[in-house]
């Protein structure tokens, strides 16, 4: 079963709008990370949020974590065409062993100019 599942699977917005993506997971975690992937390329790390943190910011990115609901959200404010990419969450399940990061299927974001 998937540890991390992103929602929605695809999202299309106009430039300047905000984009919100959600991630749900099943087991307790040590931390949760968000990544971006441009078509056919490697993943780029965006933000890491630890299980004892509730919110984190980085530039136009805001990540929240609700461990009681086992969910996280990634908000991109004032989106740009260059934000077009797939976004993945990855969890580090507690007790699963060392460095066993589990990724979801991703949200494909398209920002229209």
Partner 1 sequence: ETGVTQTPRHLVMGMTNKKSLKCEQHLGHNAMYWYKQSAKKPLELMFVYNFKEQTENNSVPSRFSPECPNSSHLFLHLHTLQPEDSALYLCASSLAAGPVYFGPGTRLTVL
Binding site for partner 1 (CB under 8 A): 2, 4, 30-31, 33, 35, 40-45, 48, 88, 90, 92, 97-106
| Cα 45 from Cα 60, distance rounded (Å) | 14
| Cα 20 from Cα 29, distance rounded (Å) | 22
3-state secondary structure of 93: strand
We find the least distance from the C-beta atom of residue 31 to partner 1, in angstroms, to be 7
3-state secondary structure of 19: strand
Compare residues 21 and 90 and give the one whose CB is closer to partner 1: 90
Compare residues 18 and 58 and give the one whose CB is closer to partner 1: 58
Contacts of 29 (CB under 8 A, 6+ apart): 51, 67, 91, 92, 93, 94
Q: Please tell me what DSSP assigns to residue 82.
A: G
We find the least distance from the C-beta atom of residue 33 to partner 1, in angstroms, to be 6
Compare residues 10 and 78 and give the one whose CB is closer to partner 1: 10
We find the least distance from the C-beta atom of residue 32 to partner 1, in angstroms, to be 12
Compare residues 15 and 67 and give the one whose CB is closer to partner 1: 67
């Amino acid at each position: 079963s998937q540890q991390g599942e992103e929602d929605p699977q695809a999202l299309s917005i106009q430039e300047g709008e905000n984009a919100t993506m959600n991630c749900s997971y099943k087991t307790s975690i040590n931390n949760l990370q968000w990544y971006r992937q441009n078509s056919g390329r490697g993943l780029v790390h965006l933000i890491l949020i630890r299980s004892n943190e509730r919110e984190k910011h980085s530039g136009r990115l805001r990540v929240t974590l609700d461990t009681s609901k086992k969910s996280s959200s990634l908000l991109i404010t004032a989106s740009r065409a260059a934000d077009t990419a797939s976004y993945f969450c990855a969890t580090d399940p507690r007790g699963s062993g060392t460095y066993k990061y589990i990724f979801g299927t991703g949200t494909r974001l398209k920002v229209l100019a």
